[in-house]
Amino acid sequence: MRLFPMITAILVCVALYAVVLDRDALLGFAYGITGDAPPAPRETNAGQRPAAIVEAAAAAADPVHVVAIRSQAREVADGVLVRGQSQAAREVTVMSETTGAVLSEPLRKGTFVEAGQVLCELDPGSREATLAESEARLAEAGARVPEAEARLPETEARIAEAQARLEEARLNQNAASRLSERGFSSETSLANAQAALRAAEAGVTAATTGRETGQAGIESARAGVQAAAAAVERARLDIEKLTIEAPFAGLLESDAAEIGTLLQPGSPCADIVQLDPMKLVGFLPEAQVDRVTTGAAARARLASGGRTEGRVTFLSRSADELTRTFRVEVTVPNEDLAIRDGETTEIVIATEPTVAHLVPASAMTLNDEGRLGVRIVENGHAGFVEVALVRDTTDGVLLAGLPAEVEIITVGQEYVTDGVPVRVTFAQDAQ
């Protein structure tokens, strides 16, 4: 019962020996039966480098069949993506500049107010009486000016009278002095003449001083008028401050001050924001800030799903000390107030167009060094060109770094290497 298994095992061992250890003898026996000449043994070159072996094999092999497209470079719109948030164009807390109790009914938050609309009105108190008193003092001060000016002619007349007396005293003194020298007059007469001259000179000085005093009185009266006018203006401004108005059109972010509230200088009346136009604020990294210019077109997508367009109105020249980024602001219209203050946004700012090729994403591959690129056809042989990915689209990918016109392998690029001959079938030319 065990004979047949043993014979089978012996035959298998003989066959394995002939196939593995004595293969050449087995082939010779087989070709002797068929009458064909055995093939010459292959020669190996252990010292040949792998690259040389590959090149030799490529030269001897048939061209590899690939599919390619003819692509021509085009200018495509490019942009910079910035993430940021919306910000009101203006936001201010309107405060009181004087003291007073609120008399007006409060406006509720969310109310749209026009520029100049009353937000809070304060109790005037005794301010009207103060204004009336200031106006009366102004009238009184104004009446003093003509009175002071009227005294000036009288002073001038006194000066003229004093000068005439001075001239008379000089003549009398000269005559007395000559008579005394000739012995026709006594010394007492001469002394009286000299005393009269001194008195006349003093009279002129006193009259001149009176004129200066009169002019000073006029200036004082005029200064009193200016002081009274300033008091009147101050009283009027204090009354005007009792009405607190909206500085610009916008929405109230808080209720206006409640009726009866006592406001002091610096007390808040209401918070108001202007949402039209709206600012979109983002921060550009250092590597991209030079690509953006003021006035560039921009589009934005809000977190709520809305979209809007505008232009860059501000680009910072100074980087943030912590993030080393540059602030950029885009102004967009917001007539319907659909954009809220503080919404997260994605902003795409248009930059100079980029020259790129539109190719299928499947055409991209990696070379032996792990660099991204595409296989191209050059003079009937495959080649590799490293590329830069501009962006992805629904029709393919936009790649930069290729020649203006190029034949790109789209099928079979994974089966060829540099220098391998290829047989190309062109698909529809790239548009």
What tens digit of pLDDT does each residue of 69-80 get? 999 998 888 888
59-68, 92-101, 168-177, 185-194: range with lowest mean pLDDT: 185-194
At 10 the pLDDT is: 75
Higher pLDDT, 16 or 301: 301
Provide the pLDDT confidence category of residue 330 given band limits of 50, 70 and 90: very high
92-106, 170-184, 252-266, 299-313: range with lowest mean pLDDT: 170-184
At 137 the pLDDT is: 86
Provide the pLDDT confidence category of residue 15 given band limits of 50, 70 and 90: low
Distance CA 130, CA 132 (A): 5
Provide the pLDDT confidence category of residue 316 given band limits of 50, 70 and 90: very high
Of all residues in the chain, the percent with pLDDT exceeding 90 is 44
Average pLDDT over residues 160-164: 74
At 301 the pLDDT is: 93
The per-residue pLDDT for range 118-152, each reduced to its tens digit, is 999 999 989 889 889 888 888 888 887 777 777 77
With tokens 């808080």, the residue in question is 254
Higher pLDDT, 362 or 196: 362
Average pLDDT over residues 180-203: 70
| Per-position DSSP letters for 253-268, written without gaps between them | SSPPPPTT-EE-TT-E
* In the predicted structure, residue 157 carries a pLDDT above the cut 80: no
At 50 the pLDDT is: 47
* In the predicted structure, residue 103 carries a pLDDT above the cut 50: yes
Provide the pLDDT confidence category of residue 368 given band limits of 50, 70 and 90: confident
52-56, 105-109, 125-129, 226-230: range with lowest mean pLDDT: 52-56
Q: Tokens at residue 371, please?
A: 């660099």
12-26, 91-105, 237-251: range with lowest mean pLDDT: 12-26
**Mean pLDDT: which of 141-155, 166-180, 331-345 is highest?**
331-345
315 and 294 Cβ atoms separated by less than 8 Å: yes
* In the predicted structure, residue 375 carries a pLDDT above the cut 90: yes
Nearest-CA neighbor of 334 among 276, 281, 279, 280? 276
53-57, 65-69, 312-316: range with lowest mean pLDDT: 53-57
Q: How far is CA 98 from CA 94, 126, 221, 265, 270, in A?
A: 13, 13, 31, 5, 15
143: Cα separation from own chain's centroid: 59
What are residue 387's phi and psi, to 5 degrees?
-130, 165
Query: CA dihedral in degrees (335, 296, 85, 340; nearest 10)?
Result: 0
Q: Tell me the average pLDDT of the chain.
A: 82
* In the predicted structure, residue 82 carries a pLDDT above the cut 80: yes
Higher pLDDT, 105 or 24: 105
Provide the pLDDT confidence category of residue 49 given band limits of 50, 70 and 90: very low
Contacts of residues 126-129 at CB distance under 8 Å and 24 or more positions apart, as own/partner, are 127/235, 127/238, 127/239, 127/242, 128/239
227 and 82 Cβ atoms separated by less than 8 Å: no
Whole-prediction pTM: 0.55
| Per-position DSSP letters for 328-379, written without gaps between them | EEEEE--TT--SPTT-EEEEEEEEEEEEEEEE-GGGEEE-TT--EEEEEEET
Instruction: Kindly tell me the number of DSSP H helices and DSSP E strands found in the chain.
Output: 5, 20
